[in-house]
Amino acid sequence: MPKFFNSDIADLANQLTRSPRRLRMEQIRGIEKLLELTEPDRAYPFDFVCYHITRYRKRGLATTGFSIPGKALISDLVTMAEVISRKAAIPVSELREPYKTHQQIAEELDVSTKTIRRWRDRGLMGIRMVFEDGVNRLAFPQRTIDRFVDRHRDLVAKGASFKQLTASERDRIVERARELRSQRPVKLHAAARVIAEEVGRAVETVRYTLRRYDEAHPDAALFADNGQEPWCERQLAIWRCHEAGESTSSIARAFGCPVEEIEQILRQVQVRKWSQWRWDYIPHELWDAPNADAIILEVPEPPAQKAPAPRLPRDIPPYLRSLYLTPLLSREQEHDLFRRYNYLKYKVAKTLKGLDPEQLDKPQYEVLRCLVEQVESVKQRIIRANLRLVVSIAKKHVGWSPNFFEVISDGNMSLMRAVEKFDHTRGTKFSTYATWAIVKNYARSIPEQHYRCSRYVTGQDELLDAAPDCRAAPASQSDRRHVREAIAAGMSALDEREREVVSSHFGLGSKNGVLTLEQLGQRFGVTKERIRQIERRALARLREVLAPSLADALND
C-alpha cells in the first residue's frame, strides 16, 4: 500500500481510482501542473489541491481545515500520480509525448537508479504505463524531467559528481577507523564524522562502509550492532565471574588488578546491558514537567481498599493460596502505579540515551541503578496483584486439568506483556485490558497445544494393544429379523393416522420418503403442532408395546 503523509490526499487518491478511466490523463496533468506551483517551504489548503486536480470547487463558504506542508504535498502528489495511473492500466501509446525510463534518466544525468528513486520524493513525477511487453513500468515525461532539473540544479549536479568508493578508499576508511579505535574508545557515528572530514565523503557513506566491513568480518568487527565498541573478552570474563557469585576482591586477585578497576568494569558492562533492554514507555506531557518528580514519585500512594478476606477454594495448591492472600489494587492505586512505572522507565531511557559507559562514575551509576530497581519493583507489584486474574481465566478455559499450571504460566507471560503495553491515561481498568490480552493468547495457544498433544503422542502402542475391546458385537441376521417383527407388531397397535404419521416422518416403509411435520400437517389439514402431538402420543404407545417385545427378541 503506498504511503501518504496526508490522510485527505490519500482519500482523494482512492476516490480518483474509482472515477472514469477517460479522465485519468487529465487528472495526471492537473497533478503535474500543481507540482509546478508547489513550493516546499509553504503550506496549501486541501481545497486548493482538490480544485487543481479535479476542477471541482465546493459551493458556498470554503472549508479552511488544516493546511498541507509543501514538502509533504510534493511527495504525496508524486505518489498519487503513480497510484491512479497504475489502477487505470494506461498503454504507453496514450502518452503521446517523449518519455524516459528509470535507466534512461540515470544514464542521461550520470547518476544511479537509486538516486532517481530518491528524487521522486522531491517531485520527479512518473506515470505507471503498460509498455509493449505488457509490463507495468514508470514512464517519466520529458517536460517533467526538464522541470525537475531546472528547479534542482544543485541536487542534480551533486548526484552527478558522486562516484562509487574504490577498493583503496574503502581500505583507507577501515584502517583509519582501526587507528581511532586503538587510540581511544569511540562510537561508530563519531568515527564516521572524523573520517568523513578527512576523506571528503559523506558521513553516511563512511558509516555504511564500516558497517559492511563488520558484517563481512564478524571476528574482526570494529563496532557492535548498536554503534558501540564490541565487547572485550576480558570484560566479559570478569562479568561471568561476577555472575557466578565471586566477590570483587577475589576477581581482582585472579586478574591481577585493583578492586576499583574491577568495580569500574562491572559498572560499564551493567550499563551496556541495560542499554540493550527495551525501555518502552507510554509518553505523556507530564514527564517533561520541571517538578515531575515531586508530583509523581514523592507524593504518597493512595490508600488500599478495605475488602473482606477472600474465600479460599478447597484443596488448592500452595501457589494459588498465596495469590488469594495478595490484596487487589483499587482504581486509584492502579493509576498511581502505572504512572510511576512509565515515568521511571522514561527517566531510565533518558539517562541511558546521553550516557557514555566509559565515562561513567560511581554516583551516576548508583542513581541509574536505583531507577532500574524502582522500575522492577513497581512492575512486580502490578503483576503480583493481577496473577489471580490469570488463574480465573485459565480455569474457564481448561479447568483443573493436568496441564493447568502450563496454561497459567502462558497466561502470566501475556500478563507481563500487557503491563508493558497498557495506557493508563485512557481511563480503562488494567484488568479489562489484561483479560482481553490473555484470552486472545489462549484462543491461539490452547487449540495449538491440544493439536500437538493429540497429533504427536508417542509410546502408547503397548498400552493400546493391552486395552480391552469394549465395542459391541455386530447384530446377527436373526436379531435384525426379530427387531423388524417387533416394530411391525407395535405399528399394528396404532390407529391409521398415528401409523401414517410415524411411518412417513421416520421413513418406515413409506413410499413417499421422509416427510416433515409441516408437510404432514398439509396432508391431514391440521397445523404442524397438532402433528407433533399425534407423533408424541404414538411414540409413547410404541414404547409401551415394544419394550417387552424387544427384550424377548434380544433374549432369543
Give the CATH number for residue 497. 1.10.10.10
**Shortest CA distance to 142 belongs to which of 95, 82, 94?**
95
Pairing of strands 90-91, 127-130: parallel
- Determine the angle formed by the axes of helices 102-109 and 153-161, rounding to 10 degrees: 80
* Cα angle value 15/18/24 (rounded, 5°): 95
Residue 135 in any domain: the answer is: no
Please write the tens of the pLDDT for every residue from 469-480.
655 556 566 667
CATH number, residue 361: 1.20.120.1810
CA distance readout (Å), 358 to 220, 224, 269:
21, 15, 10
Is residue 195 located within the same domain as residue 251? no
pTM over 0.95: no
Say what the pLDDT of residue 509 is: 66
Count of structural domains, the chain? 5
Please write the tens of the pLDDT for every residue from 443-475.
877 666 655 555 555 555 555 566 566 555 565
Q: Are 13 and 79 in contact (CB under 8 A)?
A: yes
Say what the pLDDT of residue 85 is: 87
Domain boundary among 61, 88, 115: 88
Is residue 444 located within the same domain as residue 551? no
**For the chain, percent of residues with pLDDT exceeding 90:** 5
**Shortest CA distance to 406 belongs to which of 450, 374, 362, 360?**
450
Residue 108 in any domain: the answer is: no
Say what the pLDDT of residue 472 is: 55
Is residue 436 located within the same domain as residue 370? yes
Is residue 359 located within the same domain as residue 482? no
C-alpha cell recorded at residue 90: 494506461
Is residue 416 located within the same domain as residue 535? no
Is residue 271 located within the same domain as residue 289? no
Check pLDDT > 70 for residue 556. no
Residue 110 in any domain: the answer is: no
Is residue 237 located within the same domain as residue 214? no
Residue 125 in any domain: the answer is: no
Domain boundary among 243, 276, 309: 276
Residue 364 in any domain: the answer is: yes
How many other C-beta atoms are found inside a 10 Å radius of the C-beta of residue 221? 16
| Dihedral sign (CA 433, 436, 440, 445) | positive
Q: Are 63 and 69 in contact (CB under 8 A)?
A: no
Please write the tens of the pLDDT for every residue from 255-307.
888 988 888 888 888 888 888 788 888 888 888 888 888 888 888 888 877 76
> Whole domain around residue 328: which residue ranges?
285-455
Q: Are 157 and 119 in contact (CB under 8 A)?
A: no
Residue 159 in any domain: the answer is: no
Q: Are 124 and 147 in contact (CB under 8 A)?
A: no
Is residue 364 located within the same domain as residue 442? yes
State the chain's mean pLDDT as an integer: 81
Residue 376 in any domain: the answer is: yes
Q: Which of 13-17, 48-52, 164-168 has the lowest mean pLDDT?
A: 164-168
Residue 427 in any domain: the answer is: yes
Is residue 421 located within the same domain as residue 384? yes
Is residue 301 located within the same domain as residue 397? yes
Report the pLDDT averaged over residues 83-92: 85
Is residue 341 located within the same domain as residue 378? yes
Domain boundary among 54, 88, 122: 88
Is residue 351 located within the same domain as residue 369? yes
Q: Could you tell me where the beta strands, DSSP code E, fall in 97-166? A: 99-100, 127-130, 136-141
Please write the tens of the pLDDT for every residue from 186-229.
778 888 888 988 888 778 788 888 888 887 877 677 776 554 55
